[in-house]
Amino acid sequence: MQEDGNHGRQLSSQGAGRRGSLGTKHTGDMRDRILEAAARLVSSSGLQCSMATIAKEANVAVGSLYYYFDSKESLLAGLYTDVAQDIAEVVPVDYADDVGHEQRVRSYISNYLAFVLADPRRARLVDYLHDGFGGQVIGGEFHEIAIAKAIDVFADAQAAGVLRAGSPYMLSTFVRGVIRHVVRRMPLSDEVPVPELDVEALADMCWRAIAA
């Protein structure tokens, strides 16, 4: 969905049409097929999936997999980078000067929630990957773009007096973590979408938790 240009933009995963449902590129390229297969397996089974299992899921030879990724760690790092790129493209927003700081933070919360709900497996995928790297910053420039923009929005809102005390990094991380935690535990299916009332309530609870 798209908001009026005067209030930033709200995009679901459809806004990045060149990418797969889990945030990986979807071009038919063998490397991208491997990453998409790894995303499916990690989101459903965790990080214990083997390179051989990933190769089978991607319908490629194990040797081909190692041609693109020399280790499981490098494959997971590539997967995390793709997810970080999707977040950087979809979640951050640009605002007109007259948009208030509360609305900017609320839009960020709504965008991240829409990003996760577009494919709830992303909640598990992001958590597994982040935990698997011990909380390290993986994803290169795309992760930095996504995090830096969130920090800027939260820092500006804090300076304007609409957010509670605490580092902008912590507050934005809290919001993303709460959203992923709740979505991971929702009984979701294609046939039973999340009620709009629940989506609005979750976004509002996130805002109220960090509001001044």
Closest by CA to 39, choosing from 68, 76, 12, is: 76
Maximal CA-CA distance, the chain: 56
- 6 domain residue, yes or no: no
For 190, other C-beta atoms within 10 Å of its C-beta total: 5
pLDDT value of position 152: 92
- 69 domain residue, yes or no: yes
pLDDT value of position 143: 65
pLDDT value of position 123: 75
Question: What parts of the chain have a pLDDT lower than 50?
Answer: 1-19, 26-27, 137, 139
pLDDT value of position 142: 61
Alpha-carbon distance 127 to 37, whole Å? Answer: 17
Distance, CA of 93 to chain centre? 14
- 2 domain residue, yes or no: no
Structural domain harbouring 142 = 13-210
For 110, other C-beta atoms within 10 Å of its C-beta total: 23
- 8 domain residue, yes or no: no
- 5 domain residue, yes or no: no
Rounded to 5 degrees, φ, ψ at 211 are -70, 150
The residue length of the chain stands at 212
- 197 domain residue, yes or no: yes
- 3 domain residue, yes or no: no
pTM: 0.74
Dump pLDDT digits (tens) for 90-115: 776 778 889 999 999 999 999 999 88
pLDDT value of position 28: 57
Domain count within the chain: 1
CATH code for position 81: 1.10.357.10
Which residue is listed with tokens 């900017």? Answer: 104
pLDDT value of position 133: 55
pLDDT value of position 205: 97
- 204 domain residue, yes or no: yes
What residues does 163 pair with on adjacent strands? 211
